[in-house]
Amino acid sequence: MLEFHAPEGTAVVHVRSGEIRRFLEASAGLVPVGLEHLQFDLDHDLAVLMRDAC
């Protein structure tokens, strides 16, 4: 069971542990643990998000 909290409310999600395990294994196969920072450019991503803010 996963529980998410936000100012708007709470969401409770029931997921089989095997599904979570498969998802995490697949994720680690795509982006090895500890190397996540190599997969994104935070400055670029923020600039893209903010480009229409002004």
| pLDDT score at 5 | 95
Q: Is the dihedral of CA 24, 5, 48, 38 positive or negative?
A: negative
| pLDDT score at 3 | 95
Q: What span, in angstroms and rounded, lies between the C-alpha atoms of 46 and 35?
A: 20
| pLDDT score at 46 | 86
pLDDT greater than 80 at residue 43: yes
pLDDT greater than 80 at residue 53: no
pLDDT tens digit string along 6-33? 999 999 999 999 999 999 999 898 888 8
